[in-house]
Every structure is written in structure tokens, then in C-alpha cells.
Amino acid sequence: MSFKLPKLSYSYKDFEPYIDRKTMEIHYTKHHAGYTNNLNKAIEGTDMLNLSIEEILRRANIEKSIIRNNSGGFYNHNFFWKILIPHSESTLPSKYMNEILQKSFKTFDCFKEKFHSAAMNRFGSGWVWLCVNRKKLTICSTANQDNPLMLGIGCEGIPILGLDVWEHAYYLQYQNRRNDYISSFWKIVNWKKVEENYKSAMRIRIE
């Protein structure tokens, strides 16, 4: 089985002014496509051809770096596109999801501050995640294209929200202003999808 670049459910311009059209296009057609193509090349002729992307990620820490980096890049971007929503639509959590966040972080604003801080403090390239870990919500970050489904990285869990803080995700528009990029992210979060991810994660048992 080879992995395919997923079709987007929106156009590149749908996130303006928070993420510009050119950044979205390059991010998807160059970076995500590159991870997809390189992953397929890396697993060709191996036993991983019959594995799901999640199964590959669970053993990525013992594989060659090319498999670890590209399997992570493929999964992370698939995940990222799904938790974005055009800015013309609602970008606030439901009452149910807001109460879940309040249980873990006291207030929605406290949650955003902790997530924002984790994103700002990720040195170099990487991601910041909101995860379900042992039925509790946690915030953590990973380097490069690592993610919480990989073993032994200190950020274990099932991701329900994630933000790409690689420079390719924002540099054309924001240059070195990562802080502004993170602030803009909250304008385009698909909280309905995050809630779906949360409910699904609460039903999964991680061995």
C-alpha cells in the first residue's frame, strides 16, 4: 500500500488573513507532498507496506531516520489540515469542549496561554500538541516531525489538536514573528473536529 496526499476540503485562500494563500499552497504541494513521496520510497520493498501510518509511527523510533521523519511529516500534516477551518466559520469550542478544557486548565484562556507558551518555547522546528494521555489532557511539544504516537519521545498520548511551528508554516507572512502566527492560529481552529478527536481518543486504549 502506498500513502496518498489527501485532498483538502477548502481552498488555499480560505484562511486569509491569518495564513496567506501562498504559504498554504507551498506547505501542502511542496512540504506535505514531499513527506508523502519520500515515505512511499522509504517503505518500498519492506514489511511496512502493509502497515497503517499509525502502526509505522509506533515503531518509528527503531527505524531509519528517513522513515521516522517522513512518516511523522505525512501524519502530522494530515492531522493539521483537518483541525483548521476557514475563518468565516465558528472557531470557538462548544460548551461541552469548553468544560473539558476547564477541568484540565481552569479556563479556556489558561489553556490557550499554556499552549501558546509551549509553541513559543519549542526551539527550532517542531510541533505543539494537545493530547489525551491516560484519559487526561496534556500539552507537550515535539521536535522536527515527531509526534505523540511515537514511543519514547516524552510527549506520549493521542493528539487531538496540533500546531506546526516549522518556519515553512508561517515565514512568508510572519517572518520571525512566531508569536503573531500562534495568535492567528486560534482564529482558524476547527473545534468541532477537536471535540471529535477528543471523544475518539477517550475510547482508545494505548497499550
65: its cell numbers? 531516520
Beta sheet of 126-133, edge-to-edge order: 136-143, 126-133, 158-164
- Report the pLDDT value the prediction gives residue 61, as an integer from 0 to 100: 82
| 8 A C-beta contact, residue 61 and residue 153 | yes
Boundaries of CATH 3.55.40.20 in the chain? 95-202
| C-alpha cell belonging to residue 38 | 519520500
CATH architecture of the domain with residue range 95-202? 3-Layer(bab) Sandwich (3.55)
Q: What is the DSSP letter of 127?
A: E
Angstrom distance (rounded) from CA 114 to CA 22: 29
The alpha carbon dihedral of 184, 179, 12, 148 has a sign of: negative
Q: What are phi and psi of 160, to 5 degrees?
A: -120, -15
Q: How far apart are CA 16 and CA 97, in angstroms?
A: 26
The whole-number pLDDT of residue 203 equals 87
Q: Where in the chain is the domain with CATH 1.10.287.990?
A: 20-82
Question: 20-82 sits in which CATH class?
Answer: mainly alpha
SS3 162: strand
- Please give the sequence-ordered ranges of beta strands (E in DSSP) within the chain, or none if there are none: 126-133, 136-143, 158-164
pLDDT along the chain (207 residues), means of 10: 92 96 98 98 93 94 91 98 87 94 96 98 97 95 97 93 98 97 97 96 69
Neighbouring C-alpha atoms within 13 Å toward the C-beta of 166: 17
User: Environment class of residue 57 by beta-carbon count within 10 Å: exposed (0-12), middle (13-18) or buried (19+)?
Assistant: buried
